[in-house]
Structure 1
Amino acid sequence: MTAQPNTVDYRPFAPTLGARRVRAIAAATVVAGSLATIIPVVATIPILPPLGLVMLLAWRLLARFAFRPWAAAPLGLFDDLVSGQPLGSAVLLWSLCFLAIDMLEQRLAFRDYWQDWLIASGLIACVIIAGRFIAVPVGAHVDTVLLAQIVMTLLLFPLAARIVARVERKRGEE
């Protein structure tokens, strides 16, 4: 009988990334998601999802301490400046998302992937619908396009969660 090699790489005293670098990486991914709106895409209907919001929610739900509680405001301001939404809309809505997640974390002791997806789905739908009422007149008929954008964004959340998990795993390896 041969001995199995030790496959566990347990290094308790190995140096890790500092908190500033982790927060900088998280902020850079949210900024990159917000910058995706400036890529010229030809489409018959505008269903480009708010990737900055999706990345922000993925970071907040999967890596709780990646952002400080006030970080949603400056990231939302950057998203407003880049995306063309009315100034302050993402600042308000993204900050409210952080508050809602904080309230849910007080109620839920443990969460799994499906609960994170459900929380993110509800928040994404609320932000997109509230953004519609802030940016577009109420009489405009954009409900079908809005529904398509919400569905597209909800389907992209697992990809954002995968990206965040990969970055977190790489951070743990360093």
Structure 2
Amino acid sequence: MNQKGPRLGEPASLWRMRIVPVATVMVASALPLMLPLIANSPVLPPLGLLFFLCWQLLRTEMWPVWVGLPLGLWDDLFSGAPIGTAVGLWTLASIAIHYSSQRIYWRGFFHDWAIAALLIAIIQSLAALIAHPHAAPGHVLGLVVPQIVISALLVPLFLRLTGKFDNFRLKRR
């Protein structure tokens, strides 16, 4: 008997279940190096951070709280930030998302957008201050405001993309 589709109750592929979320964050963190973009100030949104936050918001239970350590290290290697910046900030963001998911039982789209936008603003501001410790804080924060605004406006798109990747991840063979 030759079957042409997935069997009822057949689980999704184990490699896709584990690899897709991590691969999307890692590729998104490395993607800005492949784009031929020259700018005086940071304009391109932190794509790895956006995917990381969206995966955390979409599937809070999927990753342990410490997942910000290896993924943040990967992002630090490609972003040019001092090593440990994204490691610490992404781990704190992961802890904040896990904490908020325990406190907010009925979280909707606008809650996720607000949480992601707030975390993006905090993480990008702190990362800029860590990367430029001797510069005037007002000047440094003024440089990252466009990047924060663009990133916050892109959160719905990245939530949608993360949902599409999640559907692919959960699809049966």
Runs (5+) with no aligned partner, structure 1: 1-10
The answer (yes or no) to whether the contact 1:22–1:66 under 8 Å persists in 2 is: no
Aligned to 1:69: 65
User: Hey, which bits of structure 1, 4+ residues long, moved more than 4 A?
Assistant: none
Deviation, structure 1 residue 108: 0.7
Q: TM-score, normalised by structure 1?
A: 0.86
- Look up the equivalent residue of 2:67 and give its one-letter code: A
Whether 1:151 and 2:146 are equivalent positions in the alignment is no
- In the alignment, does 2:55 pair up with 1:78? no
Q: Which stretches in structure 2 are left out of the alignment for 5+ residues?
A: 1-6
Q: After superposition, where does 1:13-162 map in structure 2 within 5 Å?
A: 13-18=9-14, 21-38=16-33, 39-136=35-132, 137-139=134-136, 141-162=139-160
SS in 2 for 1:124: helix
RMSD: 1.7
Q: Is the 8 A contact 2:48 2:75 kept in 1?
A: yes
The count of residues paired between Structure 1 and Structure 2 equals 163
**Aligned-pair distance for 1:40?**
2.5
Separation in 1, partners of 2:16, 2:167? 14
What SS is found at the alignment partner of 2:106? coil
Letter paired with 1:27: V
For 1:23 and 1:171, locate their aligned partners in 2 and report how far apart those are by CA, in whole Å.
8
Larger Rg: 1
TM-score by length of 2: 0.86
Q: Contact between 2:65 and 2:98, CA under 8 Å: does it hold in 1? A: no
2:3 alignment counterpart: none
Q: 2 CA distance for matches of 1:138 and 1:45?
A: 14
CA drift of 1:44 comes to 4.6
Whichever residue aligns with residue 166 of structure 1, its letter is K
Larger RCO (alpha carbons 8 Å, 6+ apart): 2
Quick one: distance in 2 between partners of 1:64 and 1:100? Answer: 11
CA contact (8 A) 2:54 2:162 kept: yes
